Amino acid sequence: MTKRADVTILSVNGMTPKIHDSAFIAPGCRIIGDVTIGEDVSIWYNCVIRAEVNRVEIGARSNIQDGSIIHCDGPDPMNPDGFPTIIGEDVLVGHMVMAHGCILHDRAFVGLSATLMNGAVMESDSMLAAGALLTQGKRVETKQLFAGSPARYVRDLTETAIAGMRMGVAHYVENGRMHKKALNDSL
């Protein structure tokens, strides 16, 4: 187990998190098991990323905002591969999100306090609204907005909305660098 600045990085069953040197991991985070975190990723304050029964992958420049929980599901007779959680590149995951055994393709956006269940898929440039519940096996297609509990199609996203999502990614990369520097300067 490694502790630094109130971060726990824990190996389980011989599986150790792999975290790119450029990533920002905020104090209070717990990163456990078969987790891969890519370049310029930011994992914000008090997140838990736990992968003891399958894997969690987070692609370059994605961010997991404060208080979010990322987990996966192991194999069973109905699902021999289980449900890993795969988060692509340039993905925005809002505060207090629960992502469990789902796939978020590049440039997906998950709103505040949304929940994604096993087998849920968000395609590239899609959006799940704040507080939404994306139930097991549900798919949000490219450039679609889903909202509600259970989440349903609302409308197609405008190019302005998609550009705003990309600006959000750039903001979080820079913000992560700033927080990482401030944290390092304070040690």
pLDDT along the chain (187 residues), means of 10: 75 96 97 98 98 98 98 94 98 98 98 98 98 98 98 98 96 96 86
For residue 172, the enclosing domain spans 2-186
Residue pair 55/35 in contact by the 8 Å Cβ criterion: yes
- Say which residue the tokens 């987990």 belong to: 71
How much is the pLDDT for 77? Answer: 93
CA separation for the pair 106, 131 (Å, rounded): 21
Residue 5 pLDDT = 63
Q: Is 73 helix (H, G, I), strand (E, B) or coil?
A: strand
Burial of 182 (0-12, 13-18, 19+ CB in 10 A): exposed
Strands 127-128 and 133-134: unpaired
Domain count, the chain: 1
CATH number at residue 158: 2.160.10.10
Nearest-angstrom CA–CA distance, 136 and 120: 5
Per-residue pLDDT at 186:
84
| The total number of residues written for the chain in this structure | 187
Evaluate the CA torsion angle 156, 158, 159, 162 in order and state its sign.
negative
pLDDT, residue 187, reads 73
Strands 152-156 and 144-147: antiparallel
- pLDDT value for 185: 86
Handedness of CA 113, 17, 90, 154 (dihedral sign): negative
Please report where in the chains the tokens 């930011």 appear, as a residue.
42
pLDDT (0 to 100) of residue 48: 98
Q: How much of the chain is helix, strand and coil, in % rounded to 5?
A: 15, 40, 45
How many whole angstroms separate alpha carbon 137 and alpha carbon 139?
7
pTM: 0.95
Closest CA to 64 of 25, 27, 9: 25
